[in-house]
Amino acid sequence: SHTVHASLDPLPMQGPELGVQADDIEAPEIEQEPKQEVLENKDVVVQRVHVDGLGRTKEDLLTYEIAEVFRAKNLIDVMRKSHEARQKLLRLGIFRKVEVVIDTSRGTDALPNGLDVTFEVTELRRMTGSYNTMVGNNEGSMVLGLKLPNVLGRAEKLTFQFSYGTKETSYGLSFFKPQPGHFERNISLNVYKVTGQFPWSSLRETDRGVSAELSFPVWKTNQTLKWEGVWRELGCLARTASFAVREESGHSLKSSLSHAMVIDTRNSSILPRKGGLLKIHQELAGYTGGDASFLKEDFEIQLNKTLFWDSVLSASLWGGLLLPIGDKPTSIADRFYLGGPTSIRGFSMYSMGPQSEGDYLGGEAYWAGGLHLYTPLPFRPGRGGFGDLFRTHFFLNAGNLCNLNYGEGPQAHLKKLAECIRWSYGLGIVLRLGNIARLELNYCIPMGVQSGDRICDGVQFGAGIRFL
């Protein structure tokens, strides 16, 4: 789809739904024998650590996760390391419940200060079905899922998803395999078909693709390498589509290699209070076959800082460049789009920049920036409960989208991106939906509107997972 959002993968496949959220750390649940001795400051030796309740899970997978517990030297340490091991076991996404039992050692070789740590686990069922409603960038969809967790015993996951939405229908099959002992290093194979309708361009797109993705951490960053092969079919959404869009109709094959690097130090991805995000993504198409041939770069930066009185200042910057390689022009399906409640507020969805007869064709270069001040609701109604999900925000958005003129140098392009800047300001209310999405209701005043842009001044509603 038009890639101001990421790829065509139906849902993020890496990692389980049970994740550790930094801002809700639970107290460890530890059962202890009723008759116990006070061992806080006494040295202990962990003699046995084992896992009870395994069915199809292979033991060797878990030894990595629980190995640390052996190194504990006193009871506090044992409790802490057991808690960490429990979180590690949970994040594998193969257990429904993990409980820790610490007991004194029994048996013939038991030491007087020996401890036995047992993780009592309940595995997830072999197959689970799910039904969710999902909020993408200003669209809603119904997602039916079928998941086979831990299908081969080492935390592999097979997922089938079917999603029916206001703009897209898609289905996909995905196989996820983490490296035993290093869950953050994982590989994911996907097969999918996605259909999308884009009324702002009068375009219909059907993508059928396969992809292989390798993810691994390097120091503080998370790196992803991906190969993707997509059969793209473009068509006019209506008979009244502009001829420029009609000319893009037909089939093409894109085979691309891409790399992404993410550094995320924020405490939350929705309404963070501190930390920053840096995401750099590049895609090279055409060197592994296919018809499409281009180099695409885009980045996203976000910085957050808590100010006085519980308010947060947030600044973000996005940008991207699409360079065709060879003589074929770029495809409407690869270009960038700008505008809407999730990017430059006050403008209609993706209705900015190069257009023909009212259909927006996207651009090969763009930048967009946002400055926000989030404050709690005035008078703090429902404090400590429901009211905490809301924030008021004051925002300033700016950006530009244009095409490249081959033959002119980079100076000319930079100049072009700096002319005719669209911008907007306003205020509104933000509602946080779990840790996945947010809703916004804003009053926007668009400025710097160029002829051909479609605006949405006044009240604008937005829902999504990625906002400028």
Select 48 or 246, whichever has its Cβ closest to other proteins.
246
Q: Check if the beta carbon of residue 165 is closer than 8 Å to that of residue 156.
A: no
Residue 240 has, within 13 A of its CA and on its CB side, a CA count of 5
358 binds other proteins (CB under 8 A): no
Select 193 or 466, whichever has its Cβ closest to other proteins.
193
Point out which residues pair with 402 in neighbouring strands: 365
According to CB under 8 A, which residues from 276 to 295 bind other proteins? 289-291
Q: How far apart are the first and last CA of the chain?
A: 18
Dist. CA 337–CA 205, nearest whole Å: 15
Which CA distances in Å does 265 have to 230, 272, 301?
33, 10, 12
Select 81 or 204, whichever has its Cβ closest to other proteins.
204
Stretch that binds other proteins, among 8-16, 240-248, 335-343, 361-369 (CB under 8 A): 240-248
How many C-beta atoms lie closer than 10 Å to residue 17's C-beta? 7
CA 200 to chain centre: 25
How are beta strands 157-165 and 140-149 bridged, if at all? antiparallel
Find the binder of other proteins among 58, 246, 273, 413 (CB under 8 A): 246
Select 195 or 267, whichever has its Cβ closest to other proteins.
195
Residue 354 beta carbon to other proteins: minimum distance, rounded to whole angstroms = 18
Dist. CA 68–CA 81, nearest whole Å: 7
Residue 356 beta carbon to other proteins: minimum distance, rounded to whole angstroms = 11
Find the binder of other proteins among 197, 222, 224, 252 (CB under 8 A): 252
Identify residue 428 by its one-letter amino acid code.
Answer: G
Dist. CA 140–CA 164, nearest whole Å: 9
12 binds other proteins (CB under 8 A): no
By rule CB under 8 A, what count of residues binds other proteins? 17
35 binds other proteins (CB under 8 A): no
Residue 255 beta carbon to other proteins: minimum distance, rounded to whole angstroms = 8
Stretch that binds other proteins, among 143-151, 181-189, 249-257, 313-321 (CB under 8 A): 249-257
Find the binder of other proteins among 28, 55, 250, 329 (CB under 8 A): 250
Q: Check if the beta carbon of residue 331 is closer than 8 Å to that of residue 248.
A: yes
Residues in the site for other proteins, rule: CB under 8 A? 231, 234-236, 239, 243, 246-247, 249-253, 289-291, 357
